[in-house]
């Protein structure tokens, strides 16, 4: 009964989702699942998703099965990459402070983790919700636990307030930059727990600094994470990359659709990826809407904007101020 509820959902909610997605009818007869439909591909896809859910349950992870996972598996079955996705979902990155495994959820995320393990510098470009930041912190935490590195250094351009205006914010340097690094901190708290994470920060094992403060330093045996890199110029990124010392690695993450610089052409992330991508020991990973692992609607939003961008419609939509002026 417990297994059936985990795989089929409360009151067979997941079954109805599969029936609607693949135009099939699903029933349980004598402990066997029966799938009927006029389209053989729809039937095949529905069976594949049910088998994948059974596999996930048998691995002791029935609690991970939820509505968002069903949507993701439906999409992957339709795209013909369900088996690859389920295999990716078995990859454990590290454990949370409560012992729960942090796993990849898409083939793209699995490739991202592999790139961080195998390369000195990894540049990850992708839309919101693809796990760029969280997985970078998780991988860094695992390397710290194993003793591969001595410290984690987290940074990002504090573009909202302007690097030169950090002094107007209250508190010491760490407190000034904390609001900008909240996503990184949230991931740290998940993995180490809030108390241990704060102790690691106090000891300097985890360091937080604005990107501008990297100049002149040499970083040895460290994992350097630079978040929101799309808001840094090519010159600032070059400065950061050349800080790497012995036994260190670096991960730059960014979403080129969310550039907050006054002039979007000042963003150096894609330019940097094109320049250094061919160098051995540097990997450039591109995630897309298929790697979005937040609420399904986030994936739909990303898809809609990607479609609008491709059709060059975004620039044709008048902004709020222009509409307001016309109405006046």
* DSSP state, residue 94: E
| C-alpha distances in Å from residue 5, one per residue of 10, 14, 34, 53, 90 | 6, 9, 16, 11, 22
Per-residue pLDDT band for 294 (boundaries 50, 70, 90) equals confident
Q: Identify the three-state secondary structure at position 244.
A: strand
253 pLDDT higher than 80: yes
284 pLDDT higher than 90: yes
pLDDT in tens, 169-180: 566 666 666 676
For the segment 312-318, the average pLDDT, to the nearest whole number, is 55
Sort residue 178 into left (φ over 0), alpha (ψ -120 to 50) or beta.
alpha
Nearest to residue 191, comparing CAs of 112, 260, 268, 102?
A: 102
- Structure tokens, 122: 């990894």
Give the list of residues 6+ apart from residue 192 with CB closer than 8 angstroms, or none: 97, 141, 200
pLDDT in tens, 55-103: 999 888 888 899 989 998 999 999 899 999 999 988 899 999 988 899 9
Contact 155, 211 (CB under 8 A): yes
163 pLDDT higher than 50: no
Instruction: Sketch out the chain's domains with CATH numbers.
Output: 2-88 (3.30.1370), 98-294 (3.40.50.300)
What pLDDT score was predicted for residue 213?
Answer: 81
Helix (H) or strand (E) holding 197: helix 194-203
| Residue 207 main-chain phi, psi, to 5 deg | -120, 140
Find the DSSP H helices in 277-319.
296-310
| The overall pTM is greater than 0.75 | yes
Find the DSSP H helices in 11-152.
13-22, 40-58, 67-79, 82-88, 107-118, 132-146
Contact 62, 56 (CB under 8 A): yes
| Residue 288 main-chain phi, psi, to 5 deg | -140, -165
Per-residue pLDDT band for 320 (boundaries 50, 70, 90) equals very low
């Amino acid at each position: 009964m417990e297994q059936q509820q985990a795989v089929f959902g409360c009151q067979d909610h997941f079954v109805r989702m599969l029936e609607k997605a693949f135009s099939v009818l699903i029933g349980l007869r004598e402990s066997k699942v029966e799938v009927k439909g006029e389209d053989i591909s729809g039937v095949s896809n529905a069976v594949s998703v049910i088998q994948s859910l059974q596999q996930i349950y048998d691995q002791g992870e029935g609690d991970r099965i939820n509505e968002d996972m069903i949507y993701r598996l439906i999409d992957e079955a339709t795209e013909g990459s369900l088996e690859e996705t389920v295999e990716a979902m078995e990859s454990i990155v590290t454990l949370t402070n409560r012992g729960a495994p942090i796993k990849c959820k898409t083939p793209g995320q699995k490739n991202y983790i592999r790139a961080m393990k195998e390369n000195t510098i990894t540049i990850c470009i992708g839309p919101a919700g693809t796990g760029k930041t969280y997985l970078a912190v998780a991988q860094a935490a695992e390397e710290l636990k194993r003793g591969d590195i001595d410290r984690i250094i987290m940074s990002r351009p504090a573009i909202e307030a302007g690097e030169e205006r950090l002094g107007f914010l209250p508190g010491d340097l760490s407190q000034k930059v904390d609001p900008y690094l909240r996503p990184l901190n949230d991931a740290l708290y998940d993995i180490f727990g809030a108390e241990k994470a704060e102790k690691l920060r106090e000891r300097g094992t985890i360091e937080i600094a604005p990107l501008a403060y990297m100049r002149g330093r040499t970083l040895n045996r460290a994992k350097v994470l630079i978040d929101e890199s799309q808001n840094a110029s090519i010159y600032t990124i070059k400065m950061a990359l050349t800080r790497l010392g012995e036994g260190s690695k670096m991960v730059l993450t960014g979403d080129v659709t969310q550039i907050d610089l006054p002039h979007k052409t000042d963003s150096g992330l894609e330019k940097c990826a094109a320049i250094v991508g061919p160098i051995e020991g540097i990997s450039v990973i591109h995630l897309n809407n298929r790697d979005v692992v937040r609420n399904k609607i986030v994936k739909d939003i990303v898809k809609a904007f990607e479609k609008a961008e491709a059709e060059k419609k975004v620039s044709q939509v008048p902004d709020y101020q222009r509409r307001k002026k016309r109405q006046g």
